[in-house]
Amino acid sequence: EPEVTQTPSHQVTQMGQEVILRCVPISNHLYFYWYRQILGQKVEFLVSFYNNEISEKSEIFDDQFSVERPDGSNFTLKIRSTKLEDSAMYFCASSESASSYNSPLHFGNGTRLTVT
């Protein structure tokens, strides 16, 4: 079964550094998402992306965050200047259509980001 893949599985970075988290969504999917989960807390929506632009973003997704689909297969999340509170598990997801009725989200295994 096709799956969403994320790399790296664990990223350690120093505060103030830039990080790029990478995702390869399922190949025929058109809608892409990033979520994050701070340890012990809820899985939170960050951003959705379709047709090479952001469809929706949460209040968490401030100017320090950006997303990009640099080629036909990758979908990246960049954090420009990491803060301690950015430490979390980041999940990429994709879906075939925008409608949750017909097409649920498929999640990757996540990238654990640790900011020191």
Instruction: Name which position in 2, 8, 16, 104 contacts another protein (CB under 8 A).
Output: 104
Instruction: Name which position in 8, 12, 18, 56 contacts another protein (CB under 8 A).
Output: 56
The verdict on 108 binding another protein (CB under 8 A) reads yes
In whole angstroms, give the CA distance from residue 19 to residue 38. Answer: 17
**φ/ψ (deg, to 5) at 33:** -140, 150
Structure tokens at 96: 């075939």
* Minimum gap (Å) between residue 58 Cβ and another protein: 8
Structure tokens at 65: 């965050």
The verdict on 25 binding another protein (CB under 8 A) reads no
Name the residue nearer to another protein (CB basis): 17 or 55: 55
Structure tokens at 111: 């990238």
